[in-house]
Amino acid sequence: PGVTWNTGSLNVDGSLTVATVAPPGPTTNATITKVTLSGSNLLVHGTNNNIPNTSGKFVVLTSTNIATPLINWTPVSTNNYNPDGTFDFSAPIVPGTPQQFIDVKAQ
């Protein structure tokens, strides 16, 4: 994905070359580095793993079943990274609701 090919010499000498390459996106997924409880809120902190590239967004995903493939988890929040490439997310803990798992994805 993101590559276009120059086929101008394919019929001449059989060569195929890369014409353009799209700029790379995040090199890895975001990483949760710290989870704390503050009153009745779960605080999640992490990094985009792409320093010095601190731009971009992150998506918080949840599921009640950890075995569910990530593609099927529910996005609950999309935000910009902090200026230093980290992120913060806060979620209320509501007694009586089903157990939820959280993951964070670079977007």
What pLDDT does residue 36 have? 93
| pLDDT tier for residue 41 given thresholds of 50, 70 and 90 | very high
What pLDDT does residue 35 have? 92
Alpha-carbon gap, residue 7 to 42, rounded angstroms: 54
What pLDDT does residue 52 have? 67
Round the CA-based radius of gyration of the chain to a whole number and report it.
Answer: 20
Tokens of 77: 């929040």
Place of tokens 């994805």: 105
What mean pLDDT comes out for the span 4-27?
A: 73
Alpha-carbon gap, residue 72 to 87, rounded angstroms: 22
Residues constituting the chain: 107
pTM over 0.85: no
Alpha-carbon gap, residue 34 to 21, rounded angstroms: 36
Q: Using the 8-state DSSP alphabet, how is residue 82 labeled?
A: P
Alpha-carbon gap, residue 89 to 77, rounded angstroms: 8
* pLDDT of 25 higher than 60: no
What pLDDT does residue 22 have? 56
What pLDDT does residue 24 have? 53
What pLDDT does residue 26 have? 46
| pLDDT tier for residue 2 given thresholds of 50, 70 and 90 | low
Q: Are 35 and 46 in contact (CB under 8 A)?
A: no
